[in-house]
Amino acid sequence: MDNVIKHADSLLRRFKTRNPFEIADNLNIIVKYGDFHQLKGFYKYICRNRFIAINSRSDEIEQMIICSHELGHDQLHRNHAKTGLMKDYHIYDATDVYEREANYFASHLLIDDADFLDYAGMEYTYAMIAAELNVHEELAVIKADILKRRGHKLNIPYVPKAGYLGRR
């Protein structure tokens, strides 16, 4: 997971924002919206053009999370997308390491360590922290896992499966 965090930190330093739409724009990634029924979003790399597609039925918070997740695919898995190894049906597959990495990337990109630790220090539940930070509870739990791996003493009730976003 260190590689995942390094990529997210690099973007945070470079663009000085946690907004995945601004980051995507700065990276010349085209973000499109469509009605994809059950599919939340996907990443495509076609003819040296990078695309993030987001389900227009998703609310604003979910769209931020989806964009961050797909941005993770761009940063971490672009070579797989270039070769066609990442197919749409793998998106949010609970057994897929790529989905897990993209979830960790999204969590680290969207949630500031200090903000999370402040709320955790006030003994907020993960649901409360997520509500304060405008993310899903699962992303708050993933952030706790990241921070625990860095030596912070946090109680983690569970680590969400890679495909949690696909079930929402």
> Using CA atoms, how far apart are residues 47 and 113, in angstroms rounded to an integer?
37
> Using CA atoms, how far apart are residues 144 and 113, in angstroms rounded to an integer?
9
pLDDT of residue 89: 40
For 6-41, how does the pLDDT look when each residue is reduced to its tens digit (9 = 90+)? 999 999 999 999 999 999 999 999 999 999 888 899
The three-class DSSP label of residue 41 is strand
Residues 101/77, Cβ–Cβ less than 8 Å: yes
Domain limits of the chain?
2-167
* Number of residues assigned to the chain: 168
pLDDT of residue 37: 83
> Using CA atoms, how far apart are residues 13 and 160, in angstroms rounded to an integer?
27
> Using CA atoms, how far apart are residues 163 and 168, in angstroms rounded to an integer?
10
> Using CA atoms, how far apart are residues 7 and 72, in angstroms rounded to an integer?
8
> Using CA atoms, how far apart are residues 115 and 76, in angstroms rounded to an integer?
25
For 68-123, how does the pLDDT look when each residue is reduced to its tens digit (9 = 90+)? 999 999 999 988 777 664 544 444 444 578 889 999 999 999 999 999 999 999 99
> Using CA atoms, how far apart are residues 104 and 90, in angstroms rounded to an integer?
17
Q: Where are the beta strands (DSSP E) in the chain?
A: 30-34, 41-46, 49-55
Does position 124 have pLDDT exceeding 90, yes or no?
Answer: yes
Cβ-proximal residues to 89 (8 Å cutoff; 6+ apart), any chain: none
Residues 137/127, Cβ–Cβ less than 8 Å: yes
